[in-house]
């Protein structure tokens, strides 16, 4: 069937739009901003079957592979041990996560590392003061469409944290995208949108990213002394020798084998003697008797961690999130310090 004259005109009009109007839109974005695409990555989180469950965006802030994104982007990876997190670079290369560096749940920021050297990084404009009406550019991966460039303006700067309200779209998959000024400097990290609100999108100032990075570079305390379980409130007398404590704990278990607390005390005694596998079994027995025994879950998680079983330690972290959030956060910090 031959194409009618009217249909031909429509096709020509579409071609005109593709050839002239779209490039003209990109012409508004300075090359110094477009060149930042090399430092923007796409984040994929897959379940144990390899099915994609989350996509997001991040950007490289250190040439050795440290990447910034939103905490909510990687939270599913933290919650599900079988899931995997992969980073796709602008050049098509894939990298698995190597280490979670730090995170700030309140400001929705997370830093993690992939293996890399001399990678292209963005420039963080930590002292930059955004101005209402100023032009900005967001580079992200909405719906998995990698390194998509969107422009807009700063609608306002709100609240004590200096949240940057922007008109550039932040669709699903764009969370964690860098927000650039027209000098090519990253001034914010796109974090959320208001459902149903046209052009109501927000970014966290990059000073919070820099603060988190600086905090992660501070010297860490040695783990072992901090892992010692706290003594019971009644333990006001000088602590017994570890071997004596172990014998006493064993005697208490024989006397009261159905009390979770006796098995927990046995676990503590084993732990203090660096007998971590025995401690694990004692903590497990305490939990079999009393499943919501937060102290036993914490001791179990720490023991797993010392034996380099991070997966099992994370399982205990997930349980503690429901039982005792404070202990859960403490265990999580040990896992990733």
Catalytic residues: 72, 108, 175
Q: Which residues contact 228 (CB under 8 A, 6 or more apart)?
A: 271, 272
Under 8 Å CB-to-CB from 261, ≥6 apart: which residues? 286
Q: Are 145 and 160 in contact (CB under 8 A)?
A: no
3-state SS record for 202-265: EEEECHHHHHHHHHHCCCCCCHHHHHCCCCCCCCCCCCCCHHHHHHHHHHHHHHCCCCHHHHHH
Residue partners of 176: CB distance under 8 A and separation at least 6: 43, 56, 57, 58, 59, 68, 69, 70, 73, 140, 189, 190, 191
């Amino acid at each position: 069937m031959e194409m009618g004259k009217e249909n031909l005109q429509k096709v020509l009009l579409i071609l005109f739009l593709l050839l002239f109007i779209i490039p003209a839109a990109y012409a508004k974005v300075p090359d110094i901003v477009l060149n930042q695409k090399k430092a923007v990555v796409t984040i994929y989180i897959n379940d144990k079957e390899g099915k994609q469950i989350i996509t997001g965006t991040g950007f490289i802030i250190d040439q050795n592979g440290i990447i910034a994104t939103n905490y909510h982007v990687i939270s599913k990876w933290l919650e599900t041990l079988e899931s995997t997190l992969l980073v796709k670079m602008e050049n098509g290369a894939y990298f698995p996560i190597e280490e979670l560096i730090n995170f700030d749940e309140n400001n929705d920021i997370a830093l993690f590392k992939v293996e890399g050297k001399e990678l292209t990084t963005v420039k963080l404009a930590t002292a930059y003061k955004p101005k209402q009406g100023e032009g900005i550019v967001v580079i992200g991966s909405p719906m998995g469409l990698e390194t998509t460039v969107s422009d807009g303006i700063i609608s306002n700067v709100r609240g004590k944290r200096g949240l940057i309200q922007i008109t550039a779209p932040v669709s699903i998959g764009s969370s964690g995208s860098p927000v650039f000024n027209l000098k090519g400097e990253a001034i914010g990290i796109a974090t959320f949108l208001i459902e149903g609100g046209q052009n109501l999108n927000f970014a966290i100032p990059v000073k919070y990213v820099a603060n988190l990075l600086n905090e992660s570079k501070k010297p860490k305390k040695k783990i072992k002394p901090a892992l010692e379980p706290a003594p019971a409130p009644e333990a006001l007398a000088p602590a017994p020798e570890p071997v004596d404590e172990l014998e006493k704990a064993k005697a208490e278990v024989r006397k009261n084998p159905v009390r979770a607390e006796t098995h927990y005390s046995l676990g503590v005694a084993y732990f203090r003697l660096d007998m971590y596998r025995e401690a694990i079994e004692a903590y497990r027995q305490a939990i079999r008797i009393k499943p919501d025994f937060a102290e036993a879950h914490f001791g179990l998680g720490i023991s797993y961690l010392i034996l380099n079983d991070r997966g099992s330690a994370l399982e205990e972290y997930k349980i503690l999130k429901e039982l005792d959030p404070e202990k859960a956060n403490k265990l999580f910090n040990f896992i990733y310090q």
